[in-house]
Amino acid sequence: MQVSNVQQRGAVPFPAFTGERVYMREFTKAAGLPPDLLRWQDTVDAMLDGVDTRCPIFLMVDQAPVKAATTQRRPGLHVDGYWHPSIQGHRHIHTGDAAEGLIIASNVLGCAGYVGRFEGSPGEGGDCAHIDASGLLRVDMEPGRAWAGHTLTMLHEALPVRRDCLRTVVRLNVRGWGAA
């Protein structure tokens, strides 16, 4: 038995849409973002409010035009998993790593998380389509706010957007922070 939890956190500002994409850039909270990513510092600071870690943090940014009734990111129930820079990929099993929190924010509703106890483990690539989420509470991840959970157990899925939009998604994998 595992527990999926999605914690609503504070408000998050976003810089102007430029179609930017950033994939798992490493930084620390103390040092802040590298110079080429400074336009994201206010966003990241808001997402990390109340988070205490000296460990590496990995930033993902995806800004894209999204058509109505489609998803921007990965559809289907899944978990993201632990980020491993040495293999440039995620692992979806606990391998003795320290806790790793996941914090997500977007400017347009396009993701839902689930709260409650569930049976089963993630499949290939973190896929959780085989997990029965019918007894879990679905939480639409309100835009303009940070949402957090454990990277290995926070069940979530992309939702189709309601209308054509320019959507921004920011994700932080935060080592050394267990999340809610």
The residue whose two tokens read 């993701």 is 111
- In tens, the pLDDT along 126-160 reads 899 999 999 999 999 999 999 999 988 999 999 99
Contact by Cβ (8 Å): 24, 175? no
Q: What is the mean pLDDT of residues 19-48?
A: 97
Q: What is the pLDDT of residues 19-30, one digit of tens each?
A: 999 999 999 999
Closest-CA residue to 7 (of 92, 115, 133, 79):
115
Contact 45, 70 (CB under 8 A): no
Report pTM. 0.92
Alpha-carbon span 1 to 117, nearest angstrom: 6
User: 129: exposed, middle or buried (C-beta count within 10 Å: 0-12, 13-18, 19+)?
Assistant: exposed
Domains of the chain: 2-175 (2.60.120)
